[in-house]
Chain A
Amino acid sequence: MAEKIEMPKLSDTMEEGVIAKWNVKEGDKVESGDVIAEVETDKATMEVEVFDAGTILKILVDEGDAVPLGGAMAIVGEEGEDITGLLEENGEKESGKEEQKKEKEAKKEKSESKGSSGDFDPILGDVNGKDSSSKTGGTSGTAPSTQSDENGRIKASPLARKMAEDKGIDLSSVSGSGPEGRIIKKDIEEYKESAGTVAAEAPSYASEESEEVKISQMRKAIARRLSESKFSSPHFYETIDIDMEAAMKARASLNEVSEVKISFNDIIVKACAHALRRHPDVNSSWMDDVIRRHGDVNVAVAVAIDEGLMTPVINHCDKKNLRQISSETRELAELARNRKLQPEQMEGSTFTISNLGMFGIEEFTAIINPPNACILAVGAIRDVPVVKNGEVVPGKRMKVTLSSDHRIVDGAKAAQFLNTVRQMLENPLSMLL
């Protein structure tokens, strides 16, 4: 019997999935467990397997389109089976929705036009702006736009109508600046200018077309989460300048013996992990009724990919050595770039590091990655003149900025944490202790 293939829940926060790619087409035979599609969730692109063996009878959604959780993606069944029932069920639902939507919009329009109908005051007559037209007359602030009423009639002054007719201008292409979008003389005159005269006289700068890009599931998730973070947690920022001379030497020596290349970021992750262990308040989350001090130190590392930003998590950072951290970071970053990270690889962080040093950014502030209490924004290592024993000598400095959620971490605590990070990086050997 034919069955609908429904959009599965692929992550905890997922509300809908976008079909990134169909691996099958209508008429293909499938076995249970076959990957039939790749679905973009808010976190990753996941593979969707089919449960029932059979033939793909109908694909209901195009690539690039979104399907809500539980929504039908395709129909699988015996070849030649009658699926009109299933299709109708699906179609009816959809069209029902459409109707509701239309109704809603119509209602909205109605309520908007309400109250704008002119009323004649039997006592005051027309005095004091009681004319229907003047009520909204030229109120600044209302965006000029052409509006047509429910019957599709365009509001235009008789003069504007006549002028448009004489000039062969389609009123629906003119935006009105009068009350309730009424098209007036000025609009027709200006329309002529913009469409004709000006364009003819101006040197030919062909206007480039703007493009509207579909918002990806990931971009939506980023937008939502970061807004939530920025708007709900009171951020404050502290910046510290760190002498990286010793860290650079240490890294050079380490890389002589290590088979995996250790990056500055790995060293920073390690330093933070140690500091987090010593400052449990920073390794915490605001849970509304309690503050959760995390037992583990799990550091997320922000990775920029073309579609956005991912934060793979290196768990138990404080217990891992630099080599482990390095190879794990590389692996996760690679998965992130290929959009193969699994949701669990992005969950459970207790702290986040965002490093833009490789782009030459000296210092910046980052938005906290919820539910973390803090995020460390790491800048580039710069060559700077420093004063040592009364003499100006070349030095290496790196600025880091800690964004903290003031509900959990206070200024002094953030400062203490930063100082520990600095001590670690300025004396890399202390990380061995």
Chain B
Amino acid sequence: MAELQFREAIREAIDEEMDRDERVFIMGEEVAEYNGAYKVTEGMLDKYGFRRVIDTPISELGFAGIGVGAAMNGLRPIVEFMTFNFAVLAADQIINHASKARYMLGGQLDIPIVFRGPNASAGQLGATHSVAYDSMYAQFPGMSVIYPSEPDDAKGLLKSAIRNNDTVLFMESEQMYGMKGEVSEEEDYIIPIGKAKVKREGDDVTIVASGKMYHIAKQAADQLEKDGVEAEIIDPRTIKPLDIETIIESVKKTNRCVIVDEAHPFGGLAAEAGFLIQRDAFDYLDAPVRRVTLPDVSAPFSKSLFDLWLPDAKQVIQAVNSVTYRG
């Protein structure tokens, strides 16, 4: 195992795939000359040249469309957005073209494209820069949504995403880029899309959390352990398709569940997983499923309000206490 930063793990995945398959290329704002806004693509230009590491103008809809066209024509583009908050400008290409083309053309085409970049909030960036889009894109059929929480998952899943013949949205958190973690050195390390991981075992409660929220859940679980509560943490890693079986299995063991979701409460991952749990594990529930989400309010700029807005470990502990009937 090698200890890598999140950004290094992603870079390794891209590098390995570009090395392996010359149809793979990367494009986006500042990915080439500047070595990437978050230095994910550092050194890529030198290694692969201008034809495969392409700087684009600030025109999300435009370069997303180029990506979709390239994919339709047999290439395997990786399109980097400086943040998924800007990718709403390209939502038409992502939702209406990339994810639907195979369906609308009767399966004649593959659209092997990966849209990737930072998701959700990074700190005091205001309401328009702080939205978590994983749940929103998961609403639409025809694409996978991945939101890994650790470098190892990021590498294995991104390699899967690049090899996938359909649209994949690969979301990263700006706050995670510097985060270090052990990454498998296995040659051609692949993690299949749609497979959740039990990241911590426990008997008392299941906490479901992915992406940045996994780290919040981990903090909460550490604290809960001191109070004698063993929390099991399931990281779905892939928001869509969601590995509900692994979650259900855990809930059958613990009988209680808290879902931590970086999105707003309405219709997100928490709502979906919560519904599926009650459908498939009703007779195993000892308490109603609870969720910890953002409030139904856009991100505030003020630091103190922002801290209040973002789910934190305290809220997770509170929710766990309520489902375990501990006051």
Which of B255, B318, B322 makes the CB contact (< 8 A) with A185?
Answer: B255
Encode A123-144 as 1/0 by CB contact (under 8 A) with B: 1111111011110011110000
In the bound complex, CA of A177 to CA of B327 (Å): 11
**Contact indicator A179/B318 (Cβ below 8 Å):** no
From known contacts A134-B319, A137-B322, A137-B325, infer whether A126 and B283 are also in contact, taking CB-CB under 8 Å.
no
**Contact indicator A127/B282 (Cβ below 8 Å):** no
- Min Cβ gap A35→B in Å is 62
Which of B264, B294, B322, B324 makes the CB contact (< 8 A) with A129?
Answer: B322
- Min Cβ gap A265→B in Å is 58
**Contact indicator B286/A123 (Cβ below 8 Å):** no
A: number of interface residues (CB 8 Å): 28
In the bound complex, CA of A178 to CA of B322 (Å): 10
**Contact indicator A137/B321 (Cβ below 8 Å):** yes
**Contact indicator B322/A134 (Cβ below 8 Å):** yes
From known contacts A132-B288, A160-B286, infer whether A138 and B326 are also in contact, taking CB-CB under 8 Å.
yes
In the bound complex, CA of A122 to CA of B265 (Å): 9
**Chain B residues whose CB sits within 8 angstroms of the CB of A139 once the complex forms:** 327
**Contact indicator A185/B286 (Cβ below 8 Å):** yes
In the bound complex, CA of A178 to CA of B321 (Å): 12
Which of B266, B270, B285, B311 makes the CB contact (< 8 A) with A158?
Answer: B285
**Chain B residues whose CB sits within 8 angstroms of the CB of A127 once the complex forms:** 265, 292-295, 311, 315
**Contact indicator B315/A128 (Cβ below 8 Å):** yes
Which of A138, A157, A186 makes the CB contact (< 8 A) with B327?
Answer: A138
**Contact indicator B325/A129 (Cβ below 8 Å):** no
Contact of B48 with A by CB under 8 A: no
Contact of B50 with A by CB under 8 A: no
**Chain B residues whose CB sits within 8 angstroms of the CB of A271 once the complex forms:** none
Contact of A276 with B by CB under 8 A: no
Which of B285, B315, B327 makes the CB contact (< 8 A) with A137?
Answer: B327
Among residues of A, the one whose C-beta sits closest to the C-beta of B274 is A126
Contact of B185 with A by CB under 8 A: no
**Chain A residues whose CB sits within 8 angstroms of the CB of B311 once the complex forms:** 127
Contact of A159 with B by CB under 8 A: yes
**Chain A residues whose CB sits within 8 angstroms of the CB of B255 once the complex forms:** 157, 159, 185
Contact of A317 with B by CB under 8 A: no
Contact of B306 with A by CB under 8 A: no
**Contact indicator A184/B286 (Cβ below 8 Å):** yes
**Chain B residues whose CB sits within 8 angstroms of the CB of A123 once the complex forms:** 295-297
**Contact indicator B286/A162 (Cβ below 8 Å):** no
In the bound complex, CA of A194 to CA of B158 (Å): 54
Among residues of B, the one whose C-beta sits closest to the C-beta of A133 is B288
Encode B265-284 as 1/0 by CB contact (under 8 A) with A: 11000100000000000111
**Contact indicator A178/B287 (Cβ below 8 Å):** yes
**Contact indicator A158/B295 (Cβ below 8 Å):** no
**Contact indicator B318/A159 (Cβ below 8 Å):** no
Contact of B291 with A by CB under 8 A: yes
Contact of B290 with A by CB under 8 A: yes
A129, A134, A179: residue with the most chain B Cβ atoms closer than 10 Å = A134
In the bound complex, CA of A177 to CA of B286 (Å): 12
- Min Cβ gap A190→B in Å is 13
- Min Cβ gap A313→B in Å is 57
In the bound complex, CA of A126 to CA of B268 (Å): 13
Among residues of A, the one whose C-beta sits closest to the C-beta of B282 is A158
Q: Which residues in window 296-325 of B have CB below 8 A to A?
A: 296-297, 311, 315, 318-319, 321-325
From known contacts A138-B327, A139-B327, A157-B285, infer whether A122 and B296 are also in contact, taking CB-CB under 8 Å.
yes
From known contacts A131-B322, A134-B319, A137-B325, infer whether A125 and B264 are also in contact, taking CB-CB under 8 Å.
yes
In the bound complex, CA of A186 to CA of B325 (Å): 10
In the bound complex, CA of A125 to CA of B323 (Å): 16
**Contact indicator B318/A129 (Cβ below 8 Å):** yes
In the bound complex, CA of A62 to CA of B322 (Å): 52
Encode A354-366 as 1/0 by CB contact (under 8 A) with B: 0000000000000
**Contact indicator B295/A157 (Cβ below 8 Å):** no
Which of B266, B324, B327 makes the CB contact (< 8 A) with A140?
Answer: B327
In the bound complex, CA of A134 to CA of B318 (Å): 9
**Contact indicator A178/B325 (Cβ below 8 Å):** yes
**Contact indicator B265/A184 (Cβ below 8 Å):** no
Q: Which residues in window 203-258 of A have CB below 8 A to B?
A: none
In the bound complex, CA of A184 to CA of B184 (Å): 43
From known contacts A127-B295, A138-B326, A179-B325, infer whether A159 and B285 are also in contact, taking CB-CB under 8 Å.
yes
**Contact indicator B284/A159 (Cβ below 8 Å):** yes
Q: Which residues in window 155-212 of A have CB below 8 A to B?
A: 157-162, 177-179, 184-186
In the bound complex, CA of A129 to CA of B290 (Å): 9
**Contact indicator A184/B325 (Cβ below 8 Å):** yes
**Contact indicator B295/A125 (Cβ below 8 Å):** yes
Among residues of B, the one whose C-beta sits closest to the C-beta of A132 is B288
**Contact indicator B296/A133 (Cβ below 8 Å):** no
Which of A126, A138, A162 makes the CB contact (< 8 A) with B325?
Answer: A138
**Chain A residues whose CB sits within 8 angstroms of the CB of B295 once the complex forms:** 123-125, 127
**Chain B residues whose CB sits within 8 angstroms of the CB of A128 once the complex forms:** 315, 318
In the bound complex, CA of A159 to CA of B288 (Å): 11
**Chain B residues whose CB sits within 8 angstroms of the CB of A157 once the complex forms:** 255, 285-287
- Min Cβ gap B284→A in Å is 6
In the bound complex, CA of A129 to CA of B270 (Å): 15
- Min Cβ gap B54→A in Å is 41
In the bound complex, CA of A127 to CA of B291 (Å): 7
**Chain B residues whose CB sits within 8 angstroms of the CB of A160 once the complex forms:** 286
**Contact indicator B291/A126 (Cβ below 8 Å):** yes
- Min Cβ gap A322→B in Å is 68
User: Top 7 nearest A-B pairs by Cβ distance?
Assistant: A125-B265, A134-B322, A138-B325, A137-B322, A162-B283, A133-B288, A159-B286
A125-B293, A131-B288, A133-B322 given; name 7 further pairs at CB < 8 Å. Answer: A122-B296, A124-B295, A133-B288, A133-B323, A138-B324, A157-B285, A186-B325
Between A and B, 30 residue pairs with Cβ closer than 8 Å are: A123-B295, A123-B296, A124-B295, A126-B270, A126-B291, A126-B293, A127-B265, A127-B292, A127-B293, A127-B295, A127-B311, A127-B315, A128-B318, A132-B288, A133-B322, A134-B319, A134-B323, A137-B322, A137-B325, A138-B324, A139-B327, A157-B287, A158-B282, A158-B283, A159-B255, A160-B286, A178-B287, A178-B325, A184-B286, A186-B325
